Chains A and B, each alone.
Chain A
C-alpha cells in the first residue's frame, strides 16, 4: 500500500466568497436560477494584464488559484504540476467551434484554439513557476481531480526527489453547456427557489450546475500540514453495494471502521436517482458521525471533489464544521477522520479518506 500524502496549503475560487478569505464559509451566496457561478477575484494580482484580456474564465481561475496556493505554501517552483478538469475550457472550445461554423473555416484566429487545449492551465503554471518537472493533465469527467491526487501519491511514493507537488482542478460552465446538458436531464426543472434548498428537492431528478477551481500543495513530509490523504478510490457506474464495499476496503486498509469516521462528507446533489446511495451509506453510520454536504454551495461539476477537499482541509484547520454544511451533528469531539463520498451525475463515484496529522 502506498504511503499517505499531506496537504500543506490550499486555494480555491468557487461560487462562495473564499478566495483570499480567512473566514470558513460564513457569508453564504446562493442563486435562484439553478446555477452557481464563481465569484471572480482580482485576477491581475496573479496574471499579467496583457495575457488576462484574452483568457477564458477557466484559465484565469485555474492559474490564479494555482499561483495563490503556491504563495500560501511559500513555494516558488513546485517539483511537479498535476491537474484534473472534466471539460477543459468550454468558453474557448465553444468560441473556436462557433467561429469555425460562422466563418465557414476561413480567417480564424488561433487564441481560442490554443487555450482550448486541455493542458493549457498546466502549461501556463509551468511557465509562471519555471517548473520543468513532471506535468500532467487528467480529463476523466467526475474523477479527474482524484486521478491527479493519485498521481501525486504515486510520484511521492516513487522517489524522494519530489518534495512539493502542485495539484489542482478547474471546470467552468457556460450558458450553452447548461442548455446542452438540460436536454439529457442534468438539471432540476423547475429549478429550486434557492440553491440552498437543493436537498429539500431530493425527491425529483436533476441537480444544479456549478463550477470552480481548487489547488493544493501536496508533500510527503507531514510537518506543518493540514491533513493527510490516505486512500483514493474511484468507481464507474457503481451500484450501492459496490460503493459500500469500496468504503469498507478503504477503511479496512487504514485499520478503521465506519465508526471511526467523524465526518462523512457527502457529494449528494439533490437528484432522486442518487439519493438512495447516500441514504444507504448514512444508515450505516453511528451517532458519533457528523453528516455534511456541499453541493448546495458549489453546484454539480466534474471536479467538485476539489471543493470538498478544500472543505475537509479547513475542517481540520479550524476544528469546526460550518453550520451550512451539517445535515446531522455527530457526537464526536475533535475531528480526526473525514471520509468523502462523491458521485458525479450518475456516472462515477469517488471515495477519499482524509486524516488529521495529530
Chain B
C-alpha cells in the first residue's frame, strides 16, 4: 500500500486567536471573531464586521522579536510568521534542513495591506522615505520570500494564487511534490491580511453583508471578510513514524477542478463543486458515506451557498451530511481559508466534534439539507473540506483520523 501523507505539525492565527488551542476554544464556545475593525483604517469600519486579528502591526512585530514601526514586514507576512512560529515550535529547523523540503505558500493580494497606504509615495517623485522598505511587497511572493529570509532558509519555494482556494491548492501541491519524490517534507498553507483593496473590491461586487454572515440561510446577504494564516507540515507516514513524530491526521484525498462557467460565479446546479468533491473522494478511495463531516466553503454569498448546497445534496443523496461553514467565526480569510479550515477539519477529527454553522436560522428553499448549528459530538473517520474560488478554481481535500 502506498505511503499515506501525514500531517505532523501545524500553526494557525485567525480572528479567533493565536494558536490551535485558542481557535478550538472559540469554536467550542461558539465565540465568533467578527467585529468592527480596529486596525484596518477604512472609511467603512462602522459599516462592516470583519474577522480581524486582535493585534496591531506593532504587537505582531513584538511577538516576533522584530522592531516595531516601519520594519519592512507587511501585516500579511507578520501574521504568517506567527502561524509559522507555532508550527516550528514542535520541530527543529536544523533537522528540517537535513532533508529536502518545500515551503508552499498561498496569497491573494500580497502586501496590499501596506502598499495601499503608501502608494501615492510609491508613484511620487520621492526616492527616499520609510515607504522604500515596502516598495517590493505588492506581489504574492513577498510573504513567501520574507518568511524564508526571517528563518534564513532556502527550501524549494512556491507561491500560488487561485483566489479563495489558494491554500487548499498549496496543501495539495505539497502532497504531490512529496509523492513524486521532489521533496521529503512540505510546509504548506496560506496567509492574507485585511486590506481596503479587498474589502472595497468585494463590496463593489455587492458580496459583503452589513451584518453577520449567515451561510446556507435563506436570508443570507453576503460574506464577512477576515484575515489569518495557517500552515501544515506534510510528510510520508513512514518518515513520520521513523522519527517518532505525532501524527495529527492524514491528507487522504484531494482534487482541483474548474467550473469553466463564469469569472466570479459557480454554475447554480453545483456541478463544479460536485465534480471536485467526487474527485477528492475518488483519490481517497472513499465514498460519500465514509465522510462524517463536511467543512463547507459556505461564504454566505447567494451564489456559493446555492451551488455548494445543491452539490452537497447531490453527493450525499438520501443521507443528509453533517456539514457547516466556519466562516461566521473567522470571516472569509481568502487565501488562508483553505489552510485554516483544513486545521479546523483536523481538530474535528481529533476532538470528534462538528463545529456549528453560526447564525443559521432559516432553511434555504433551494435545498433540503441544513447545516449543524450546535457543537455536536460525532464519530468521524474522514472529513471533507471545500474551497471554491473566483475563476472557477475549486479544491476539495479529504482528511482522515490519525
Contacts and interface: CB of A to CB of B under 8 A. Distances in A.
Interface stretch (A175-183, A263-271, A308-316): A175-183
B262 A119 contact: no
A161 to B, nearest CB: 11
A141 B107 CA distance: 13
Chain A at the B interface: mostly helix, strand, loop or mixed?
A: mixed
Given A114-B205, A154-B177, A141 B141 contact: yes
Interface string B379-402: 000000000011111000000000
Contacts of B200: 96, 100, 105, 108, 113
A118 interface: yes
Question: Chain A interface residue count: which class?
Answer: 35 or more
A88 B182 CA distance: 27
B372 interface: no
Contact of B160 (A116, A136, A236): A136
Interface in B302-346: none
Interface in B131-151: 132, 135-136, 138-141, 144-145, 148
Given A110-B204, A117-B108, A236-B157, A123 B132 contact: no
A117 B163 contact: yes
A120 B163 CA distance: 9
B116 interface: yes
A184 B136 contact: yes
Chain B at the A interface: mostly helix, strand, loop or mixed?
A: mixed
Interface string A129-173: 111111111111101000100110010011000000000000000
A109 interface: yes
A119 B204 contact: no
A104 B203 CA distance: 13
B161 A236 contact: no
Contacts of B116: 97, 100-101
Interface string B148-167: 10000010111111110000
A130 B259 CA distance: 8
Contacts of A194: none
Contacts of A130: 260
B335 to A, nearest CB: 10
Given A132-B258, A132-B272, A140 B43 contact: no
Interface stretch (B7-15, B65-73, B84-92, B118-126): B118-126
Contacts of A143: 158
B108 to A, nearest CB: 7
B173 interface: yes
A204 to B, nearest CB: 18
B180 A105 contact: no
A237 interface: yes
Contacts of B158: 138, 140, 143, 147
Contact of A119 (B144, B163, B177): B163
A72 to B, nearest CB: 21
A12 interface: no
A124 to B, nearest CB: 7
B257 A134 contact: yes
B161 A118 contact: yes
A357 interface: no
Contacts of B182: 2, 150, 154
A127 B257 contact: no
A22 to B, nearest CB: 32
A236 B156 CA distance: 8
A157 B233 CA distance: 24
B148 A236 contact: yes
Contact of B264 (A114, A129, A176): A114
From A2, A126, A143, residue with most partner B Cβ within 10 Å: A126
A150 B180 CA distance: 11
Contacts of A105: 42-44, 196, 200
A113 B264 CA distance: 11
Nearest to B255: A134
Interface in A73-123: 81, 86-88, 93, 96-98, 100-101, 104-106, 108-110, 113-114, 116-120, 122-123
B116 to A, nearest CB: 6
A97 B122 CA distance: 12
B36 interface: no
Contacts of A101: 116, 119-120
Contacts of A179: 123
Given A105-B43, A151-B173, A93 B138 contact: yes
A131 B392 CA distance: 11
Contacts of B179: 158
A137 B166 CA distance: 9
A352 to B, nearest CB: 15
A347 interface: yes
Contacts of A126: 258-260, 391-392
Contacts of B301: none
A269 B275 CA distance: 45
A117 to B, nearest CB: 5
Interface string A284-316: 000000000000000000000000000000000
Contacts of A340: none
B390 A123 contact: yes
Contacts of A157: 180
A158 B69 CA distance: 47
A340 to B, nearest CB: 19
Interface string A14-32: 0000000000000000000
Contact of B144 (A81, A124, A140, A154): A140
A137 B108 CA distance: 11
Contacts of B138: 87, 93
Contacts of B162: 118-119, 122, 135-137
21 contacts: A96-B201, A108-B203, A113-B200, A113-B201, A114-B264, A117-B390, A123-B258, A126-B259, A126-B260, A130-B260, A131-B260, A136-B256, A140-B157, A147-B158, A150-B182, A176-B122, A184-B135, A184-B136, A235-B154, A236-B145, A347-B145
Given A96-B197, A135-B162, A136-B169, 9 more contacts: A100-B196, A108-B201, A110-B201, A117-B391, A122-B393, A126-B392, A132-B259, A143-B158, A183-B122
